[in-house]
Structure 1
Amino acid sequence: MHTPAPTTGARPPATAYDAVLCDLDNVVRYYDLTRVTALEQAAGLPEGTTAGLAYDPGLDLPLLLGRITPEEWAEAITAGLTDRVGPERARELGRAMAEAPSRADETVVALLRRVRERVPLVLVTNATLRLHDDLAALGLGDLADHVVGSAHEGVAKPDPAIYRIAAARAGVRVDRCLFVDDRQENVDAALALGMTGVLFREPADLHGPFGFGRTDGRTGGG
């Protein structure tokens, strides 16, 4: 089993990996829940109530496996909040959650574009059937060589199957992949398959594993 790649800025051996598999959300893409928070405050709900409901596996996993649409997900959020805030406010919160805007971290995007010049890059993400449209809207349609989304594949991280699919799309053995994710359980699943794993917290975490040192501008995350 491989251990997580060092993040000290040291260049890894040229043979350390033959492909990079990278998560999307909270690594490349970030959602802005400012409107959701404002609506919660107006309704007297604790901040994070809506997200806690929306991301509960009972609601979230069917969406990420393509079994329900984002519209149905918003309706389920609404149903879960109606008893607490009434139908109108619950509907506003459900819609705001489903339509939350997102942005790309340009520092991470730049690092990924550089690493793709050396090896294949595959985005591996638990995401909805709108994934490709979402990437195009962010200007990231050409970021990776391949995109492996849970809703399209019918399997989600940390299931080993989605990692094997991603490695196959890259055309390399699983033990020749470097995997990047912000969730420890997803990194652990990659390590169990023999991949090199990087737990992401900020862009600087990628400099060493990617072999770029610390010459890529800012090092803060977010």
Structure 2
Amino acid sequence: MLVDIDGVVRTWSHTGARLGEERARLPAGTLIRLAYRTAERELAHLGVITHDEWIESIRERLKSEYGAESVVAVDSWAEDRGTIDHAVVDLLRRARTVVPVAALTNNTTAVLDDLALDGVLSLFDFVLCSAEIHVAKPSPLAYTKAAEKLGIPPRNVFFVDDLASNVQGAAFAGMHAVVFSGSNELVAQLRTAGIRLPAQEDPPVRATSS
């Protein structure tokens, strides 16, 4: 089983970006524009520049457009690691009892530290990020590299991603690929693919005093 990280395992409300913009009195959406809609982001995702170099490029753009005081906005944004979807984590934990579970993510290598800090890195047999392999989804090569690391032919790999284009790339590479729409739907999609998860454990019952 091969899963995407952002949009599946963790979600984003961009709270850090909003806090940073408020702190520096920047127009709403400034950090999203300067962080994600630039060539530097793509270069960082391909490992051409480092994560720190990408962050520094955002500081330089802010300084150029809004002055030196605006760079304080970057810290709040950079410290935001998103929110882990614990329903998905539970699902993957159960899946790992019956199949290998790995991740393929378009990301900088900082994603490994993020997942470790969130306590979910050990959930995966491995996490393969685009910056490490120098190729990003939806390139078919990204999926074949992941399948090779799994030691499983692509036709035997179940892949899930929140972006239809990435799912299309995985299907082209020969994988059983589905668009993520929620943990309950994913359980049904896994069952259709022949992967049956063990039952979810009931939470412990708290003893009551008499």
| 2:28 corresponds to 1:28 | no
In the alignment, which residue of structure 2 is the partner of 1:40?
21
In the alignment, which residue of structure 1 is the partner of 2:169?
189
In the alignment, which residue of structure 1 is the partner of 2:40?
59
Q: Is the 8 A contact 1:29 1:103 kept in 2?
A: yes
Larger Rg: 2
Q: Which amino acid aligns with 2:66?
A: V
Distance in 2 separating the partners of 1:93 and 1:205: 38
If the length of structure 2 is used for normalisation, what is the TM-score? Answer: 0.83
Q: Which amino acid aligns with 1:60?
A: R
| 2:59 corresponds to 1:72 | no
Distance in 2 separating the partners of 1:63 and 1:98: 14
Deviation at 1:70, TM superposition (A): 2.5
In the alignment, which residue of structure 2 is the partner of 1:117?
97
**SS at structure 1 position matched to 2:149:** helix
Unaligned runs of 5+ in 2: 202-210
Identify if the C-alpha distance between structure 1 residues 138 and 38 changes in structure 2 by more than 3 Å, giving closer, same or farther: closer
Q: Is the 8 A contact 2:45 2:130 kept in 1?
A: yes
Unaligned runs of 5+ in 1: 1-19, 218-222
Which structure has more RCO (C-alpha within 8 Å, separation ≥ 6)?
1
In the alignment, which residue of structure 2 is the partner of 1:127?
107
Distance in 1 separating the partners of 2:14 and 2:182: 20
- Report % sequence identity: 36
RMSD: 2.2
Q: Which has the higher helix share?
A: 2
Q: Is the 8 A contact 1:74 1:95 kept in 2?
A: no
If the length of structure 1 is used for normalisation, what is the TM-score? Answer: 0.79
For residues 122-162 of structure 1, the C-alpha deviation after alignment (integer angstroms, 9 at most, x for no partner) is 11011222333222211112211222111111111112111
What is the aligned length? Answer: 195
Q: Is the 8 A contact 1:187 1:199 kept in 2?
A: yes
